[in-house]
Amino acid sequence: MSGRRLRHGAGVLVVGAVLLVLAFVVPENRVLLLNAFLAYGALVVGLDLLVGDLRMMPAGHAAFFGAGGYATVLLYQKAGLPLPVAGAIAVLIVAVLATLIGLPAVGRSSGFSFAIITFAFGELLIQLIANVPGFFGGSSGLTIDWGVGSDMPFDFSVYRYFTLWLVAVLVVVMLVVVLVRNSHLGLRMKAVRADENGTRGLGFNPTTYKAVAFVLASTLAGLVGVFWAPMNGFISPDTLGVNQSILLLGMLIIGGVGRITGALVGVALLASLPAIVEMDPVLRTVLVGALLAVVALLQPAGIVGGLATLWDRARRPKAPPPADGPVDATPEPAGVGR
């Protein structure tokens, strides 16, 4: 177990090193696309703890992403806290919200009810924001002015400066997922996925492991929101809407659940291609739905899962060719020797 953990952890660090190099060399007009890949990559990799390891399908995962962003902006502008302090407290707030929502939700995680509860949480936040515009900014959202100037490190633009932070966030999320999957917690989560009733017979409560995974994945989403809002200088209800949650699920399922590489491939397709990023949100949701249908019909394991299957088949030893000539299967009469 420890050897596998080290190999996967080393792979994460290699990916992080490559992304760090890209942060310095990518052209300025592509920095926002790289940032979108990093932010959505962290969101989808964290989401895979629920979908890939427990087969739980939250329909409101983006709500925690948006909650992290809103909490950061409000604590900075309304409470006057320094931005790092506001971000740290925002992550704690998201963790508390995830606990309050997760405990009743995971008890009904056998499909539709769990999705409805998480969807309702996201819609509740949107209605709260819309109906208290004086505090939350209403449907127009909130802007954040954190005193950014021209004294960025390495003479970076604001967006490129946040690229460094988002690389760190993605690496942290990937390391957390690797550590969880290669721990006793991860093994029991997989046991719950395989046979929930059977795990009760082994003496541990599957609800506990579902709740832990839900809170962890949601808190990681909130962490991404903490950096996303200041980077854009703006946060709106669209950040936590159901379209955003569908997009996250689509990225994961199209890329391939249960694999960090699958999550990143799905994000690269749907969050980093200019033609898709600049598409109308409604049309993009329709496109994601169509791609999901195609993947479900042709390759349910996703792009990376399908490639892994082909690779396994290519490496599998071929069966020996049949013997030359006909084989005499007539039984020899009793008592006749040779």
Is pLDDT of 206 > 70? yes
> DSSP string spanning 145-168?
-----S--GGG--HHHHHHHHHHH
Strands 234-235 and 142-143: antiparallel
Distance, in Å, from the CA atom of 198 to the CA atom of 194, rounded to the nearest integer, reads: 9
- The dihedrals phi and psi of 252, each to the nearest 5 degrees, come to -70, -50
Distance (Å, whole) CA 207 – CA 215: 12
Q: What is the pLDDT of residues 282-300, one digit of tens each?
A: 787 788 888 888 887 888 8
Q: Does domain 2-315 have CATH number 1.10.3470?
A: yes
Report the alpha-carbon distance of residue 319 to residue 249 in Å, rounded.
Answer: 40
This prediction's pTM: 0.88
pLDDT at 308 over 90: no
**pLDDT score for 148:** 59
Better-scored residue on pLDDT, 153 or 195 = 195
pLDDT in tens, 112-146: 889 899 999 999 999 999 899 989 999 889 988 76
Predicted confidence at residue 338, as pLDDT, reads 45
Q: Where are the domains positioned within the chain?
A: 2-315
Average pLDDT over residues 158-182: 95
Q: Tell me, rounded to whole angstroms, the distance of Cα 262 from its chain centroid.
A: 10
What mean pLDDT is reported for the chain? Answer: 87
The answer to whether residue 196 scores a pLDDT higher than 90 is: no
| pLDDT (0 to 100) of residue 249 | 93
Q: Are 65 and 229 in contact (CB under 8 A)?
A: no
Nearest alpha-carbon partner for 216 in 106, 76, 70: 106
Contact 276, 270 (CB under 8 A): yes
d(CA 260, CA 169): 15
Question: Does residue 214 carry a pLDDT above 80?
Answer: yes
